[in-house]
Amino acid sequence: MKRPPRPQARTSEASPTLSRRTFLKGAGGVAASGVLAREALANAEPSGPPRADAEVLEGPVEVEFALNGVATKVTVEPRTTLLNALRVHLETPHTGAKEVCDRGTCGACTVLLDDEPIYACMTLAVRAHGRSVRTVEGLASGDELTAVQREMVASDGMMCGFCTPGFVMSMTACLEKNPDATEQELREACRGNLCRCGTYPHVFEAGMRVARGGAR
Ligand code: FES
Ligand code: FES
């Protein structure tokens, strides 16, 4: 997947481009804002107070990332979540990731950051700088759905559908890494996704049909 060009050094202009160095220097402060990948959450050390040398980002900042393989720029306040950047601030809004709880409990906002599932509502957009972001919009190729998407339809894996993009992204990430995943592994991969309509049996039936190879 093509990455955007290396970021420029931050300037003092009104819309500074965020450099990786600037971002890393500010990471202590960012971590204190609750930005953690779901995988990291399980192993996270207490983040503690921001580092004394943490640089405070003053907005707006320009964030560059590969969105579904396309070099993308968005200018946002440093406090903007990735979910809001995707849904509201892009020139072409990407609304596939859903805003449901907006507090890291339901998984409806799940996207893949460098192929790892994360809660986009709990991730600052600046975290995506220089990285790859994949959303549910990037899965199908024209009218050609992925196996996970096809099986979600065939297995009747949705009712209201608000949770569906999140489950699809979590199962996609799991099956890309482990195409022969067991049902337990699929359930583990989706442990951060909630379905209020209770379609879990159908969701995992879909995932297992892909894992068993019948739907590839
Ligand atoms: S909207 Fe992000 S976890 Fe619920
Ligand atoms: S289908 Fe309604 S929340 Fe899952």
Mean pLDDT for the chain overall: 83
Going by C-alpha positions, the residue among 142, 198, 144, 193 that lies closest to residue 165 is 193
- Asked if the structure places residue 14 within a domain, the reply is no
Phi then psi dihedrals of residue 173, to 5 deg? -60, -40
Report whether pLDDT(15) > 70: no
- Asked if the structure places residue 53 within a domain, the reply is yes
DSSP type of residue 73: E
- Asked if the structure places residue 205 within a domain, the reply is yes
Instruction: Reduce the DSSP state of residue 116 to 3 states and report it.
Output: strand
Q: Which residue has the higher pLDDT, 78 or 21?
A: 78
**Tokens 């609304």 — which residue?**
95
Domain boundary (138, 164, 180) is at 138
Would the CB of 194 count as within 6 Å of ligand 1?
no
Residue-wise pLDDT tens digits, 17-29: 444 444 434 433 3
**R_g (Cα) of the chain, nearest Å:** 18
**Which amino acid, one-letter code, is at 174?**
C
Examine the domain organization and report whether 134 and 151 are in the same domain.
no
pTM of this structure: 0.78
**What pLDDT does residue 80 have?**
97
**What pLDDT does residue 53 have?**
79
Examine the domain organization and report whether 132 and 153 are in the same domain.
no
Mutate to test the pocket of ligand 1, among 105, 136, 162, 193 (most ligand atoms within 8 A of CB): 105
Domain boundary (116, 138, 160) is at 138
Report whether pLDDT(211) > 90: yes
Report whether pLDDT(2) > 80: no
- CATH (domain of 200): 1.10.150.120
Residue 215 confidence class, pLDDT cut points 50, 70, 90: low
Examine the domain organization and report whether 99 and 168 are in the same domain.
no
Would the CB of 102 count as within 6 Å of ligand 1?
yes
Counting ligands in written order, the one closest to the CA of 156 is 2
Percentage of the residues of the chain whose pLDDT score is greater than 70:
76
What is the Cβ-side half-sphere exposure of residue 34, based on CA atoms within 13 angstroms? Answer: 11
Examine the domain organization and report whether 87 and 40 are in the same domain.
yes
Phi then psi dihedrals of residue 187, to 5 deg? -65, -40
State in Å: Cα 5 to ligand 1 middle.
Answer: 30
**What pLDDT does residue 213 have?**
84
Examine the domain organization and report whether 132 and 29 are in the same domain.
yes
Residue 79 confidence class, pLDDT cut points 50, 70, 90: very high
Going by C-alpha positions, the residue among 150, 143, 137, 148 that lies closest to residue 189 is 148
Find the range with the poorest average confidence among 54-68, 73-87, 127-141. Answer: 54-68
Q: E-strand spans in 122-194?
A: 132-134
User: What atom in ligand 2 is closest to the CA of residue 160?
Assistant: 2
- Asked if the structure places residue 78 within a domain, the reply is yes
Mutate to test the pocket of ligand 1, among 82, 102, 194 (most ligand atoms within 8 A of CB): 102
Q: Which residue has the higher pLDDT, 178 or 18?
A: 178
CA distance 55 to 31: 12
- CATH (domain of 92): 3.10.20.30
Q: Residue 41: give the domain boundaries.
A: 20-138
